[in-house]
Structure 1
């Protein structure tokens, strides 16, 4: 994907907001696109504009893709992957290298976004890397954004969802309502936590 196709347009951001059901947050690039051009992966700054550190650089946004990966998680694939990581030295080494690639990509995005250092997540990638598997969505996003051959378990995740989603076909029809009003209020748990903290601070000042 060229730099021009990675640059998010307002239409891309609106689409991501509709896909997620909340406003798109600090999207620096479109990490991967459907064959029709719709976003699949939002490449996100490592610190959000509200100040929260955000380790998940490559965030899956497409509902069909996200649901497909959730099916693999529900089927127990992560436990099997963790067993293999403890037994297969070559796989463990490849996965550790994927962790380093993730950190390198995050640093690239940090510099591109213009945010300062994010010491809270320094050396920490996402998804359980470098030694565990805790989130297949992270691994799938990594593979889609960087291409095959970087994250072996991300590659396996994409291969494992082929019965529900494949990159060669458009799965967008009916996945979200493109005519709906674009969400403007962020109801994510992170924002709710910040709102609670602000309310507690205000209450403390009034006492």
Structure 2
């Protein structure tokens, strides 16, 4: 995998409003050429960091936050309890993230494998719960077959901003 460009790193740091030191690559770009989802190394500052797909697009972050404010986390948790096929697909998404995360580990970090294989996306321990819709959308946009991420994406009418302003002047 090639190293992330300095330009992408600057845009990501602008999008997030902070320094980031464990980004590996950009998984998805918007039509303006700016990062939407990044791939993060599962160890940050010497400790496990189970969130490998991170949503960086400010527009999508806001749109997903609106869905959370409307109670969609609870709605998805109810769907997980009531729909066995959806629940199975959701668990499989966690297992896909776990496998991808473990495959990213360098030899010197394999001591964390036991911990990292015991939690799903974003460190979720109970696969009947939903921690954050941003995580699931990021997984979905990064290529994980995540049914919550897909539904979140489908619920968002406007998939990107009008200006590509998040990457301006970096």
TM-score bin (small chain): 0.7 to 0.9
Which of 150, 164, 167 is the aligned partner of 1:173?
164
Mind listing any 5+ residue stretches in structure 1 that lack a counterpart? 181-207
- The gaps in structure 2 that reach 5 residues or longer are none
8 Å contact 1:103–1:124 — kept in the other structure?
Answer: yes
- 1:152 Cα deviation from its structure 2 partner: 0.7
Shift in Å, 1:52? 2.9
Q: Which residue of 1 aligns with 2:116?
A: 121
Matches within 5 A, 1:32-111: 32-48=28-44, 50-111=45-106
1:172 Cα offset (Å): 4.8
Question: Could you list the per-position Cα deviations for residues 142-161 of structure 1 after superposition, in whole angstroms to 9, with x for gaps in the alignment?
Answer: 000015xx111110011111
Partners of 1:18 and 1:178 within 8 A in 2: no
Instruction: Give the TM-score of the pair, scaled to structure 1.
Output: 0.73
Contact kept in structure 1, 2:34 and 2:164, CA below 8 Å? no
Task: Report the count of equivalent residues.
Answer: 166
Structure showing greater Rg: 1
